[in-house]
Amino acid sequence: MLEETEDEYLNRCAAAAQDFVDFLDEEDVDDDEYFHRLMVYHKPGGSDQTRTRPVPFPDPTQTVDEPRGVVRVGFITGQVRHEAQRRAGQASPTEQHFVWSRVGFVFRLVCSSRLRRGGREELYMWTWKALNQREDGSLRPSAFRRGVVSSRASSLQLSNAKEFISLHRGAINSLEIDSTEGEGRYLLSAASDGTVAVFDTHRPTSSSSSSSTSIAQHHPLFHLPRAHKFAISRALWYPVDTGLFITASFDHYVKLWDTNSTQVVLDYKLPAKVYGIAMSSIATSHSLIATATADVQVRLCDLASGAFAHTLSGHRDGVMSLEWSSSTEFVLITGGCDGAIRFWDIRRPGTFLLLDQSLSQLGTRPPLLPTPTPSNNESTSLPASSKSSSSTPILPAQKRRSHKKIQLKPPTQSSHPGMASSQNRATAHYGAVNGLRATADGFYLLSSGSDSRLRLWDIESGRNTLVNYEAMSIQTSKPIQLAVTPDSSLVFVPCLASLKAYDLWSGTTINTYRGHYESVNCCFFNAQDQELYTGSNDRQILVWSPSIPAATQIEEADSKGGITSIDQDNWSD
Amino acid sequence: MAESSQSKSGGKKRSRSESEGDPDADADAASLQSIQLENDLNFTDTAIALQMMKAQFPKLDKVVVRPFILRSQLYSSVKDRTQVDRDLESLKKEAVVRVFKLNTGKDDHAIMFMDDYLAQMENAVKRYDAKDKQLSDVFDWFKQYVIKSKTDVSISHPELCSLLSNGGDVTEKHVTLLINAGLLTCQLIDQNLYWFVIPNIGSILKGLSQGRKELLSLINRTKYKEMVLANLEKKRLRLSPLDIRFHIRDLIGSGLLKTVQSPIGLLIRLSRD
């Protein structure tokens, strides 16, 4: 009935964002959900109107204990079990392959497959039990989605379906995907040779086809060879849309570019080399670019007027990393080469909070008498430690100490709430702070230092949560870019030539991603597709996507035509 | 079960031969000696780990130093590092232990029990005879006011003066006396900040860093960069007065070595990254 092949049809539907129509008649079309290629779709006009793309399913390591049909379920549970075993490392991928080939694929719908959509290949795994729960409403769509997303995020591997062809001739220092609502599509990369490139992560430009797999290649949409004279340390998209992007370089300039014409619209000259820039993505009343330079002052550049708004001084050495708060549009967090992390409210002068690594959350309570010290710490208590008896002896000591501190301040310096800590030498790290990342909910801050430590801070109280991230070694010379998953479960840290993923709350190493030949500088987690992009000194951008089981080989054999022979067993090839 | 009994009997055999040929064998109980490191590598609780490691601290003949434990050793012994940090923090606040930052160049911290530290301090003060007897009151003030209230690893100059002035008038000479006695050290980056230090520990620190290098080179020289733990324990380090168990624990905790289970037992392998 259709003259185009199925793949072309799928591509066309994907491009138009339409639902797919199942080619095979299945008796399941009685529900408003139907299956095609092991994915659940909703018929247009079905209960869940919002879903126009196939729904991936949660963790297949959940046990399946309630089969409903005979053939399909038996097959599916077998497949799920094998997938679970494979993930547990007990069954080899080839064993799973045998399971697949064994059932024979009379029904195309009962195989897991790749879905091509505009060049992007995804794989969805399926759990019968979760599907039942979705059907009878006991599992909400958001919980469903969360389970799937987190299982995909923790199963990343070097992608064998997608690659970026980078034309950079220098180390890649910065990667960023635009943060437009609902679609994070364009990847902006900046390198040490002064070049900037933008990639489209959804559509490949070509594909290199080999015998069994074809890798979708993404060439840059444009590549600016001489954007800056020296190395570019950071490139950012304008938070509102992709019409503008901003680059900061070691040649002391911050430039604002128009994306469509790739011309410089504005530039700012700074007194020293720029290590980092940041723009607040939630800001509605200001459009300030905060710049971190080797100079001790943090300068805010105003986009609307083209001039500098004001400067924040307080650091003792250069500032290496900065980040706007993800909950307030007026709070800026900076990390300096002196090891201090300062919080600034840009409406007032001075730092209002300085993070001290020796202050932990243990047993803190606000002082009984109001002291003039500006950094009033809220009380938080650790869930793990229950030593509340230790809190009372601390209290008089703290009070006495703060009282003494006030006496020693030189009387000529007027103190007001903003000017807390020009005297405060507290350090957050023993070396320079070279990476900062706030969690998406705005409660916690992660900071990485050149003392090879990653620390988690509770922002509200300003205390060290003492979560210990297992041994890592962080390069000391450059600012690095950390990545956190939006549900705050994993943090990705570049450690020399590999990238490590840690559980945010307990500090255990979940995964180590080894693929680069030289030190990794930056990483970005694409929350839409649960992919991780990393850039390193070896001039490559690598893509890490959720792992694909070996069943894809069946798909190839199947598409060449005909039903594969059922007469196979575990030992057949 | 059979495996563990076998290793225990093997341990006993080794301890006998070890104690024969080992001139400075520990005065520790023979039972501790016979427990192989393999069985003793993991503890459940930080406090227990601290006590056990303090008991296993090697006896040094040249220098008298009370037992201290490195932070990386704790990390290798107790599974959950975050829990170790938090327990250590509460122990610090209760003034049971004291944490010091060592100046080996790497990020080392030493943990010492409070009574050990006070005893060490007494020894140091006794050995250092102050020229000016009036100034030696500062040691008492230091012990009474500074140590009790300041539980961090470092202290700033104004704060030190203010705390010491609870005892009496403080001048620069008092602070100089404290530094000369070896109780405080200036920080290199900032003149106004001082580290607390364990007095008379300098030679041991040298032994620590040299012993680390020697142990790493020992494993590096093997063909596959790994060695069975039982064999490794029997070796003696030339350059370090501390015994090899100390160094093994320390290197495992800081991530330079890793342990691998094998049918023979526990293997120590150089970790690559």
Nearest CA in chain B to A360: B89
pLDDT at A19: 60
Cβ A387–B94 below 8 Å, yes or no?
A: yes
Helix (H, G, I), strand (E, B) or coil at A84: helix
pLDDT (tens digit, 9 = 90+) per residue, B66-100? 888 998 888 888 888 888 888 888 888 888 888 98
Cα–Cα dist B192/B177, whole Å: 16
Q: Is B4 on the interface with A (CB under 8 A)?
A: no
pTM for the structure as a whole: 0.70
The closest CB to that of A470, out of B81, B163, B192, belongs to: B81
Whether B257 contacts B251, CB under 8 Å: yes
pLDDT at A408: 41
Which tokens in the block code for residue B47? 């406090």
Identify which has the larger pLDDT, A555 or A138: A138
Question: Residue A134 above 50 pLDDT?
Answer: yes
**Which chain A residues are closer than 8 Å to B149 by Cβ?**
397, 400-401
pLDDT (tens digit, 9 = 90+) per residue, A33-47? 444 544 555 444 444
pLDDT (tens digit, 9 = 90+) per residue, A338-383? 889 999 999 888 888 888 888 887 665 543 444 333 333 333 333 3
The closest CB to that of A362, out of B81, B84, B89, belongs to: B89
Cβ A408–B162 below 8 Å, yes or no?
A: yes
Q: Is A400 on the interface with B (CB under 8 A)?
A: yes
Nearest CA in chain A to B149: A397
What is the four-CA torsion angle of B84, B88, B89, B93, rounded to 10 degrees?
Answer: 160
- Complex confidence, ipTM: 0.77
Q: Which of A144-153, A269-278, A400-409 has the lowest mean pLDDT?
A: A400-409
pLDDT-based confidence at A98, cuts 50/70/90? very low
Q: Give B20→chain A minimum CA distance, Å.
A: 39
pLDDT (tens digit, 9 = 90+) per residue, B230-268? 888 888 888 888 888 889 999 998 888 988 999 988 999
Q: Give B26→chain A minimum CA distance, Å.
A: 32
Which tokens in the block code for residue A464? 């060290």
Question: Residue B34 above 80 pLDDT?
Answer: no
The closest CB to that of B158, out of A390, A397, A408, belongs to: A408
Q: Is A286 on the interface with B (CB under 8 A)?
A: no
Query: Which of B162, B154, B161 minimizes the C-alpha distance to B185?
Result: B154
Q: Is A418 on the interface with B (CB under 8 A)?
A: no
Helix (H, G, I), strand (E, B) or coil at B105: coil
**Which chain B residues are closer than 8 Å to A390 by Cβ?**
90, 93-94
Cα–Cα dist B258/A9, whole Å: 53
Query: Which of A300, A164, A235, A156 minimizes the C-alpha distance to A479?
Result: A235
pLDDT at A63: 43
**Which chain B residues are closer than 8 Å to A458 by Cβ?**
none
Cα–Cα dist A277/A300, whole Å: 9
pLDDT at B254: 87
Q: Which of A244-258, A325-339, B76-90 has the lowest mean pLDDT?
A: B76-90
Q: Give B85→chain A minimum CA distance, Å.
A: 6
Cβ A466–B107 below 8 Å, yes or no?
A: no
Nearest CA in chain A to B157: A408
The closest CB to that of B93, out of A363, A382, A466, belongs to: A363
